[in-house]
Amino acid sequence: MHEADSIRAVTLPKHARTVGSYAFYNCRSLEELTMTDSVSAFDGGSLMNCLSLHRIRLLAPPGGATCLPKILGETASELDVRFLHGDTCTPLLFPAYTEERSRTSARRTSFSAVSTAPGTATASALTARR
């Protein structure tokens, strides 16, 4: 039996390839997860009941292949995701930000994975109408 409630941060080994199903199940105090781009599989339920998780650190270049889409599918909370590569830190906004007005208004803005700072991740989806 592990002390799931005492785990606050996890850094996966540099060459880890898979995070198994329910690996962090009931780690309700887990706030931060750090991993490299060597992790290519993030199995279902891995973050179930990780209610405090709000930081993901990926030691990988932005735009590179990672298991990030699977991780984002495992959580419904707001996450501060950072790609760390050399001296560069690239933030990613998740979940998507959406702004809508009533049907009589022509303004609609929605985007996901957007940051406006130089050297940051580009939008995976971006629409704006005025």
Q: What is the pLDDT of residues 17-69, one digit of tens each?
A: 999 999 999 999 999 999 999 999 999 999 999 999 999 999 998 778 889 98
In the predicted model, is pLDDT for residue 121 greater than 80?
A: no
Of 29, 121, 115, 110, the C-alpha closest to 68 is 121
**69 phi and psi angles, rounded to 5 deg:** -55, -40
Query: Which percentage of the chain shows pLDDT scores above 90?
Result: 48
Tell me the C-alpha to C-alpha distance, in Å, between residue 117 and each of 25, 59, 83, 91, 108.
35, 19, 14, 9, 22
Q: For tokens 């971006």, what's the residue?
A: 126
Q: Are 113 and 92 in contact (CB under 8 A)?
A: yes
Model pTM score: 0.70
Of 108, 92, 29, the C-alpha closest to 60 is 92
